[in-house]
Amino acid sequence: MSLASLAERLHLPYPSVHREIERAEQAGLVVSRRLGNLRLVRANPDSPYYAGLTDVLLKAFGPPAVLGATLDEVPGIEEAFIFGSWAARYHEHQGPRPVGDIDLLILGDPDRDTLYEATARAAAQLGREVQVTIRKPGWVTTGTGTFHDTVTSRPIVTVPLDRAGPQA
């Protein structure tokens, strides 16, 4: 990603992004290259910190955390799971192409307008489209059919829902 795109996406001033990327590159966390006037930056998979940082960042800011926070606002959801290629990559299953979107399985009877508004916000934050499938509660264990067999035979990631609300 270019530094300008990174600054825009993060809503941060370009000089701040530039400074922090310089620090990250000196530490070996990222690598960059020039393409004309653009400076492109990406994570450094050869860094000894790559696996640990990836794990921490995914848990703190990745799709399960972002979706969990936005879905907490939607009444009628009993459980939520990420399935498909994103879940497979999360579980370290290799695939033929990069992940383009996030497949989200909702179990319950949510208000669809509220659900789609929440997932649109999450998609904007994640920079990936979120494809929603809604099924009745218990579908993962009691469902039938080809789609059910496909979803349950492949990796899934639980989306953490905090139905308790804010603590006093």
The chain-wide mean pLDDT, for the chain, equals 91
pTM of this prediction?
A: 0.77
Query: pLDDT digit string (tens) for 20-35?
Result: 999 999 999 999 999 9
And the tokens for 143?
């469902």
H or E element that contains 80: strand 77-83
Could you tell me the pLDDT band of residue 163, with boundaries at 50, 70 and 90? low
121: number of Cβ within 10 Å: 15
CA distances from 34 to 31, 99, 120 (A): 11, 25, 33
Phi first, then psi, for residue 37 (nearest 5°) are -85, -10
Centre a 10 Å sphere on the Cβ of residue 168 and count the other Cβ atoms it contains: 3
| pLDDT tens track for 36-79 | 989 999 999 999 999 899 888 888 889 999 999 999 989 999 99
- The domains of the chain, with CATH numbers, are 3-51 (no CATH), 62-158 (3.30.460.10)
Q: How far apart are CA 61 and CA 10, in angstroms?
A: 13
List CB contacts of 133: < 8 A, sequence separation 6 or more. Answer: 103, 104, 105, 106
The closest alpha carbon to 82, from 44, 114, 128, 51, belongs to 128
DSSP states of 91-109 as a string? TT---SS---EEEEEEEE-
